Amino acid sequence: MSSKSKTKISSTLSKEFEEKWKNPMKKPYLEKLVLNIGVGLGGEELEKAVNVLETITGQKAIKTKSKTNVKEFNLRKGRPIGTKLTIRGQDAEKLLKRLLIVNNNKILRKSFDNYGNFGFGITEHISIPGIEYDNEIGIWGLDCVGRVVRPGMRVKSRRKARTKVPKHHYVQRGETQYFLKQKFGVEIVEKLELDYF
């Protein structure tokens, strides 16, 4: 497909999305951002990972536990093996802007699904703006997963009168990519080529 036809398609889609977003119930927003570090074992290393997430966000992280027994990795069910943290609202938007700087505001095209979810990895947490190297903690990598939704998705998970959400109300892949471009200046790429200084 030529670049001209790609531009024509994207401009047609952008008009379609802008028209759809005039309805307040169709306008997407960033629901949450989840940061995760898988350590594989508990103890001191896990405490360092928890400390890293709390330093990045200023909020309290929780420990994730193993769901099954894996003899080869010496894992037992219920043993803490990682840490995660969920951020919502304005704090999630501010944090996402900070985290995107690490990858030069680029996200891989294959990192999106058809339910409004997207994700990217950070290999060294010290590359996040405002985070300094601590000799005692070392350098950690982490996964960042975000979710873009429309208003009304709460009916799927609330306790009372829970009901299904129709497929057309989920934010599709193309719309999620367009939303991130408009709101956060994200560039969707096929391959990540980062600049090192």
Q: Is residue 14 part of a domain?
A: no
The CA distance from 107 to 159, in Å, is 35
Identify the DSSP state of 116: S
Amino acid at 43: G
Q: Is residue 70 part of a domain?
A: yes
Q: Give which of 144, 148, 143, 32 is closest to 88, Cα–Cα.
A: 32
Placement of tokens 């200046």 in the chain: 185
Does 29 fall in a domain? yes
Q: Is residue 46 part of a domain?
A: yes
Query: Is residue 15, in this structure, part of any structural domain at all?
Result: no
* pLDDT value, residue 194: 61
Q: pLDDT tens track of the chain, all 197 residues?
A: 444 434 444 677 788 888 888 989 999 999 999 999 988 777 888 899 999 999 999 899 998 888 888 777 777 888 888 899 999 999 999 999 999 999 889 999 999 999 999 999 999 888 888 888 888 888 888 999 999 999 999 899 899 999 999 998 999 999 999 999 999 999 999 887 765 44
Q: How many domains is the chain built from?
A: 1
In a domain, 40, yes or no: yes
CA separation for the pair 75, 67 (Å, rounded):
9
At 143, which amino acid appears?
A: D
Asked whether residue 9 is assigned to any structural domain, the reply reads: no
pLDDT of res. 151: 94
The domain that contains 114 carries what CATH number?
3.30.1440.10
- Give domain status of residue 89, yes or no: yes
Domain that holds residue 79: 25-189
